[in-house]
Structure 1
Amino acid sequence: MKLALFLMATLASTSTLAQQCNIDSAHLKADYKITNTHNHEQSTQSLTLWRNSSQVAHQREVITELWQHLANKQIRPIRYFNAEQRGIEYQPSEVRGIQNWSAKSQLVDNHLIEKMTLLNTQGTGCDEVKNYTLSENGNDFNLAFFTHSKLVKTFSVSNKKSQTTTLLSLNNVNTDEPLISAQFAKWDRFQTTDYADIGDNEGDPFLAKMINLGFIEHGATGFYNQQGDAIQGGHHH
């Protein structure tokens, strides 16, 4: 009887260990594909999420946006232009609507997840995924979220009225810390200009080009998508 109890206890502790997850969620590189569908026409782009302790970066083909989580809980953004190896540094006060770290580090805001309905939980340990859904203001949200690494597995937003669907899907995760540290060090070596000093440097061909393209605009956030359209929730004088 005692042996049977011992074996049961051993099996229980073994299964508990199997369900634990030792992934380092603070240092990782996650490759995503974004698929936009509108009236059955599809376009795709890639997005890489980088985490390095108190720094997060969203790397796209043209631009990388990096955020530093400061000791005072404020978020300081830097926008890097990949090909030119140049950057624009902002102060937290210069850009509003960005003081939500979860939206940067997870690609989906915790406030949104809290509003969603949990459908089910699948898998165990590092593979545990929670599936959520929400319908709000004509939009249908569906999220599959890795519990331990705080990573989106898939996230879709559909709007029947405009016949548009955006799907974010995870392709690959890398937790090689030297590789991640090296990438952040590389960005740190890019030549940067303070946003406040752009007016004094309009003779700089790079800055003149970016202002002309609409990626940098006085009195706005300086945060634009790849088409040069202003991202909502910005700072206006």
Structure 2
Amino acid sequence: MKKALLIIATLVSTSSFASQCDIDAKQLKADYKITNSHKAQQSSESLTLWRNNQQVAHQSEVITELWQHLANNQIRPIRYFNAQQRGIEYQPSEVRGVQNWSAKNQLVDAHLIEKMTLLNTQGTGCDEVKNYELTEGDNQFKLALFTQSNLVKSFSVTNKKAQTNTVLSLNNVNSNKAEITAQFAKWDRFQTTDYADIGDNENDPFLAKMINLGFIEHSATGFYNQQGEAIQGGHHH
């Protein structure tokens, strides 16, 4: 009986610790580094994941992809151009592959995680991390995911045949609500154009340039899909 009570007490203390997390999983800023390796060559870039309740944004150097989770469960994307403080608003129907909230919210599609094998669980409460692995074709995936916040700690995709390796690693997490609210308010003040109206605004030098660079198109957006492929929108150029 004492043993049972001890187990219950441990469970209660663990869950209460988990509920006392300093970080609100629905409102946070997480800074990541993405390292791409191909044979002897290596490059890196930064990515910031922002969560603000029913809004999620992926901010890179040039653009920010923002998604709004609507009441009808649809997802409305907006592509912001950081330096120009301009944006393109899309309707959910105008963008392929957009209706998967998990890939936006946690960078790795929940369907991919479901296919992975759970190797072990480390830590407790807010620091609990689940480690997963999956080999599919020539690709090997490794994922470390914070259980409480659904934040990726690290994620790697290795293809031995192509000699490529991509690693996403978490550098810092910030849950300053004032800063997060202010950032989303700042994006909201950017001048935006509806995707459907771009044809009527071809004289706009900014839009003309972005069309020419291939930044404005019907594109899949998100991060890692259920195939483990990085889908970073239509801004490959």
TM-score scaled by structure 2? Answer: 0.88
1:93-128: CA deviation from partner (whole Å, max 9, x where unpaired): 000211000000000000000000000000001000
Matched positions, count: 221
Match of 1:162 in 2: 162
Match of 1:221 in 2: 219
- 1:123-138 paired onto structure 2 within 5 Å: 123-138=123-138
Letter in 2 for 1:87: G
- 1:76-225 paired onto structure 2 within 5 Å: 76-217=76-217, 220-221=218-219, 223-225=233-235
- CA–CA separation in structure 2 for the residues paired with 1:9 and 1:76: 46
- CA–CA separation in structure 1 for the residues paired with 2:176 and 2:193: 30
Shift of residue 20 of structure 1? 4.5
SS in structure 2 at match of 1:197: helix
SS in structure 2 at match of 1:212: helix
Match of 1:232 in 2: none
Q: Residues 163 and 130 (structure 1 numbering): CA distance in 2 closer, same or farther, change over 3 Å?
A: same
Match of 2:16 in 1: 17
Shift of residue 216 of structure 1? 1.4
- List gaps (5 residues or longer) in structure 1: 229-237
Shift of residue 40 of structure 1? 1.9
- CA–CA separation in structure 1 for the residues paired with 2:55 and 2:144: 24
SS in structure 2 at match of 1:113: helix
TM-score scaled by structure 1? Answer: 0.88
Match of 2:36 in 1: 36
Letter in 1 for 2:53: S
Say whether the 8 Å CA contact 1:21–1:148 is kept in structure 2: no
Whichever of the two has the greater Rg, that structure is 1
Shift of residue 17 of structure 1? 3.4
Alignment root-mean-square deviation, CA: 2.0
Letter in 2 for 1:176: N
- CA–CA separation in structure 1 for the residues paired with 2:36 and 2:128: 27
1:133-158: CA deviation from partner (whole Å, max 9, x where unpaired): 00012100000000001000000000
SS in structure 1 at match of 2:140: strand
- CA–CA separation in structure 1 for the residues paired with 2:16 and 2:157: 36
Letter in 2 for 1:221: S
Letter in 2 for 1:185: A
Identity of aligned residues (%): 71
- CA–CA separation in structure 1 for the residues paired with 2:29 and 2:198: 32
- CA–CA separation in structure 1 for the residues paired with 2:111 and 2:192: 33
1:43-76: CA deviation from partner (whole Å, max 9, x where unpaired): 0000000000000000000000000000000000
